[in-house]
Amino acid sequence: MTNDQMQELARVGAEARLRAIDEERGAILRAFPALGSRPIPAANNGSTAPARREREGMSAAQRRAVGERMKAYWAKRRAEKAGEATPKAQSAADTPATPTPASKRKGMSPGRKAQAEKMRAYWAARRAQKDGATAAGGGGRKGRKTGRKK
């Protein structure tokens, strides 16, 4: 069989398949007429990601308004958490521009403080043990010059 004959048979087979698909589509549309009114989606050219929606940016005034609303929101939340009945209104002008300095931050939690004390005691004992061993001449590396040439 020649190449031209193969292509002709492939074309005839493709036409028969398209006719069968058209008949099947007609049967489906007869069974579900509402499907015929919807537009056919475009081909998905290989991309699996959904199309992103374009948004317009906010103006400076809109950003400022959102910022003030959020400051008031969080002030109210902090006040509720602290147990106050009604928080005082806080505007953007009332809030300091700089963050809270480190000196005004809270200290360590009680659990962490206890762990730090335990570790300080542990390392102090280790240093004392090491210093005692070095003073007795039995161990440690301080002051030992054996094996060195002068």
| 128: in domain | no
Would you list the DSSP string of 59-111?
Answer: PHHHHHHHHHHHHHHHHHHHHHHHT-SSPPP--TTTS-SSPPPGGGS----HH
Q: Can you give the pLDDT at residue 47?
A: 64
pTM of the model: 0.26
In tens, the pLDDT along 90-148 reads: 555 565 555 566 566 678 899 999 999 999 999 999 999 998 877 766 555 555 555 55
| 4: in domain | no
- Between 55 and 98, the higher pLDDT residue: 55
| 37: in domain | no
Residue-range definition of the domain harbouring residue 68: 60-95
In tens, the pLDDT along 3-26 reads: 999 999 999 999 999 999 999 999
| 124: in domain | no
- Between 81 and 48, the higher pLDDT residue: 81
| 77: in domain | yes
| 82: in domain | yes
- Report the mean per-residue pLDDT for the chain: 81
Instruction: Please count the structural domains in the chain.
Output: 1
In tens, the pLDDT along 76-105 reads: 999 999 886 554 555 555 655 555 665 666
